[in-house]
Structure 1
Amino acid sequence: MYLPTKWHSLSVLEDHGNAVGFISSQALHTPENGTCSKITRVTLSACPPLTNLNKDGVLITLLPNEENTSNSAAPLVRENLVRADERCRAIGGDSQMTGWGHSRSPSSVKGSAVKIDVCLRDPSQQTRSVVTKILMLTFP
């Protein structure tokens, strides 16, 4: 995975062994007990890896999704920012991108669907370009 200098990544396990991945322009922290109780699409609210996005800050959440493994899943639209939902706003975000990517591992030809949520706060054009590059290199 491509990460720019000074960007951070974190993987957090849930009590059942599943994981969620985070990528951010800011330092991230693990939950107090080291795991999240259950990883779902509300993980950002229930188990946030940071308390507040800085101006020009980004938090990318990568959730594995076993329910949506088809190739017909809607891909992430990298240039289309929308108003932040309540989970993104809870950490200070004001815009976001949401969609699906297909991860590919050396042992998997098909890959698996990954739910991608990108939460941003007042992003500069340079930050948006960096986010696009990370996502394009991770989910071609």
Structure 2
Amino acid sequence: MSELKCKLVFDGYWKEKNIINVPEQTGIYCVYTYTINEINKKQKLTIHKLIFIGFSENARTSVLQHETSGEFKKYQGDRQKICYSFAPLDKIHSEQVKLALIISLNPIANSDVVKKFDYDKTQISTEGQNNLMKSEIILSKNV
């Protein structure tokens, strides 16, 4: 294995009514809780928690399955709803990048993931709709 540098540019945030706009692409998707607040007669989306990080060969299909199952509702607080973000990523590095994100960010719905990182140095930068994420993540093998 060799060192990996990866840049993830997240798009979103897709709410229940517009998740059909999530790309039918391979990549990383994130699940958040949010609320809408009205400030100066303008609606403002406030992200509260990053609750899940996943990888899919078709992000739209995965997001629709999550939304239909309602599996993340138990993580919603008062007045909170669920929204999604997405960053394209080739399948070849998907497990490595997903695991690095999960270990670094510790989303509650990924608590079943074994936190052993058996990859060489992995450096991930994140941009875009990436609330509650670090802009730079660096991990190396667990010793």
- TM-score calculated relative to the size of structure 1: 0.29
Of Structure 1 and Structure 2, the greater helix share is in 2
- Larger relative contact order (C-alpha < 8 A, sep ≥ 6)? 2
Q: Which one has the largest radius of gyration?
A: 2
**TM-score normalized by the length of structure 2:** 0.29
